[in-house]
Chain A
Amino acid sequence: DAGVIQSPRHEVTEMGQEVTLRCKPISGHDYLFWYRQTMMRGLELLIYFNNNVPIDDSGMPEDRFSAKMPNASFSTLKIQPSEPRDSAVYFCASSLTRSTDTQYFGPGTRLTVL
């Protein structure tokens, strides 16, 4: 298996622009997670899905952030409008069954908002 796939790997955009991050989980994994990592705050869970349904979005910082999972093999995290403080590495991860199983992380998207 190719593992969790994320795109793009790097994104540089200007404040106010819309940003869409994409993720393809490992085939057969029922859970998908979006994390944000910064030097100051470490890894923070933003939202996670079970069988394409959002279960917990309490980590989504504000209404500018939204996430969707239209099918079992694809998810997006959208930021609109983007702000400089959104600059971070965004990881997608998936796990086989229960939300507390070992999670497998994608390579991440490094986002820079100017």
Chain B
Amino acid sequence: GQNIDQPTEMTATEGAIVQINCTYQTSGFNGLFWYQQHAGEAPTFLSYNVLDGLEEKGRFSSFLSRSKGYSYLLLKELQMKDSASYLCVLNTDKLIFGTGTRLQVFP
């Protein structure tokens, strides 16, 4: 089966950098998504990694290491609006969602 582990909660300060880690166990997968979900709203797509390495998209970057079973989402220049849950998602024959990391950004 598949298993995804991420920290339950994190806090950070506006303007800072935060890294949200995700480790997983799976027999095989196509890639790994990161989704953002604000409280009371639907998840929205942030990034998708297929190959090992870093994918950069503005203030957000996502990294994947298949050999280590590890991914992270890096958020730079944090803003208050970045307070949300961040979901690590394995792309197998269907999507397997982690329980998410709730990030709180303080002024």
Chain A interface residues toward B at CB < 8 A: 41-45, 48, 56, 91, 99-100, 102-108
Contact = CB atoms under 8 A, between A and B. Distances in A.
Contacts of A100: 30-31, 91-95
Given A100-B30, A100-B91, A43 B42 contact: no
A59 B96 CA distance: 11
Contact of A43 (B30, B43, B91): B43
Interface in B4-62: 30-31, 33, 41-45, 48
Interface of B: 30-31, 33, 41-45, 48, 87, 91-100
Contacts of B100: 42
B43 A99 contact: no
Contacts of B99: 41-42
Contact of B97 (A42, A48, A107): A42
Contacts of B41: 107-108
B95 A105 contact: no
27 contacts: A41-B99, A42-B97, A42-B98, A42-B99, A43-B87, A44-B97, A45-B95, A45-B96, A48-B94, A56-B94, A91-B43, A99-B93, A99-B94, A100-B31, A100-B92, A100-B94, A100-B95, A102-B33, A102-B45, A102-B48, A104-B45, A105-B42, A105-B43, A105-B44, A107-B41, A107-B42, A108-B41
Contact of B42 (A44, A102, A108): A108
A103 B96 CA distance: 12
Contacts of B93: 99-100
A104 B33 CA distance: 13
B94 to A, nearest CB: 6
Contacts of A107: 41-42
Closest 7 pairs (CB-CB, A-B): A105-B42, A42-B99, A43-B97, A100-B91, A102-B45, A105-B43, A107-B42
Nearest to B97: A43
A94 to B, nearest CB: 12
Contacts of B44: 105
